């Protein structure tokens, strides 16, 4: 899903820990990530859209980010012995 600001949504979750793990994984590969949520500060509301956390990346990084999330990040395979 593309946004108006040049960012694309590559994943949506209601679990903040999962969102942070995916963010860290993408950033470790050099992909800039923005988390967008409708949660209200100190209140841990997870009802409907208020619980959604959207993971956004720059449009040019969308394909690479989706591959990393799917586990197809192109990591080097260990040498055959």
Amino acid 9: pLDDT = 95
CATH class of 7-70: alpha beta
Segment 72-76 long-range contacts (CB within 8 Å, at least 24 positions apart):
73/29
Residue spans of the domains in the chain: they are: 7-70
**pLDDT tens for residues 39-66?**
666 666 556 567 789 999 999 999 999 9
Lowest mean pLDDT among 1-5, 16-20, 31-35: 1-5
**Residue with the two structure tokens 């994984």:** 25
Segment 25-31 long-range contacts (CB within 8 Å, at least 24 positions apart):
25/68, 25/69, 26/55, 26/57, 26/65, 26/68, 26/69, 29/64, 29/68, 29/73, 31/57, 31/58, 31/61, 31/64, 31/65, 31/68
């Amino acid at each position: 899903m593309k946004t108006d600001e040049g960012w694309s949504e590559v994943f949506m979750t209601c679990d903040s820990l999962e969102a942070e793990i995916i963010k860290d994984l993408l950033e470790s590969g050099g992909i800039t990530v923005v988390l967008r949520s409708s949660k209200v500060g100190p209140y841990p509301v997870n009802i409907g859209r208020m619980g959604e956390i959207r993971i956004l990346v720059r449009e040019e990084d969308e394909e690479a980010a989706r591959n990393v999330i799917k586990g197809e990040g192109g990591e080097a395979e260990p040498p055959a012995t």
